[in-house]
Amino acid sequence: MLEELGLAESAAAPSGMSAKTSAPAPSRSANRYRFARLGDRFIAFALDVAVLSGLFAIADAWVLMRWSAFDAAELQLTAAALVTVIALNAAILFLYGWLLEAACGATLGKVLVGIRVVRTRQCGALAACAIRNLVRIVDGLALYLVGTAVAACSDVRQRIGDIFAHTAVIEEGFGVAARAGAVVLWVAILAGAGYAVPRICSSSNSVHPRYLSQVVIRIGRTENAAYFRVAGFSFDFHS
């Protein structure tokens, strides 16, 4: 893997082998690549979480306003709304990482920090990045402690998703235009969410879902307390 990344020289061909069958020398110098530090990857992840939160907020507001019910001072969340929210958030999370890493090698957060994803074997970018982002389900366990621990113990700082996808994260000097574009897009998504969510919530377009219409969560307020009720559990917050 180190040879394929240009981090180590290719081994010399054994005696008796022709030059045509020996491994080609890396096209870039060994000092061109450096594995991304875990701190930089965490910052990139935090930046991505921020922009994803904006996308989640827009999608969730639309779903909850459409398939939830409002009764006086109580918000009633149906099973249809919750299932749709979970499915949409999972799809947005996967597509964001998969498509951007496959097309550009980096998400917005990675571009801003200066790191990118590279493949360590000859395989398709779409397949490798799909596997990398699907296995994020395992890496993200215990608030991403699983992925962090595996990457910290790896010589090439690979989390489980990187190991299965044959990818690694390296430092990359993106140009000024790329970083400026990432900043503009990052700010535009958050500003767009701040603009769109209140307007979505102010419109009344609630419909009764055909399936999974039972109310599973109730959030409301009485004269002197607020409450949160799910299934048979109730949490009251007295003012």
State how far the Cα of 219 lies from the Cα of 198, in Å rounded to an integer: 19
Residue 3's Cβ-count burial label (10 Å; 0-12, 13-18, 19+) is middle
User: What per-residue confidence (pLDDT) applies to 73?
Assistant: 77
User: What per-residue confidence (pLDDT) applies to 74?
Assistant: 83
Which secondary-structure segment (H or E) carries 51? helix 38-67
Q: What are phi and psi of 44, to 5 degrees?
A: -60, -40
Residue type, 81: A
DSSP assignment of 129-161 equals: HHHHHHTHHHHTHHHHHHHHHHHHHSTT---HH
pTM for this prediction: 0.82
State how far the Cα of 211 lies from the Cα of 40, in Å rounded to an integer: 45
User: What per-residue confidence (pLDDT) applies to 239?
Assistant: 66
State how far the Cα of 164 lies from the Cα of 131, in Å rounded to an integer: 7
State how far the Cα of 149 lies from the Cα of 198, in Å rounded to an integer: 39
- How would you label 148-175 residue by residue, b for 16+ Cβ within 10 Å and e otherwise? bebbeeeebbbbbbbbebbbbbbebebe
Cβ(114)–Cβ(178) under 8 Å? no
Cβ(178)–Cβ(192) under 8 Å? no
pLDDT along the chain (239 residues), means of 10: 43 37 36 85 97 97 88 83 95 98 97 96 94 96 94 95 96 95 98 96 80 88 85 80
**Pair of tokens at residue 188:** 């535009």
Cβ(89)–Cβ(56) under 8 Å? yes
DSSP E strands: which ranges in the chain? 68-71, 74-78, 115-119, 167-171, 215-221, 225-230, 233-238
User: What per-residue confidence (pLDDT) applies to 41?
Assistant: 97
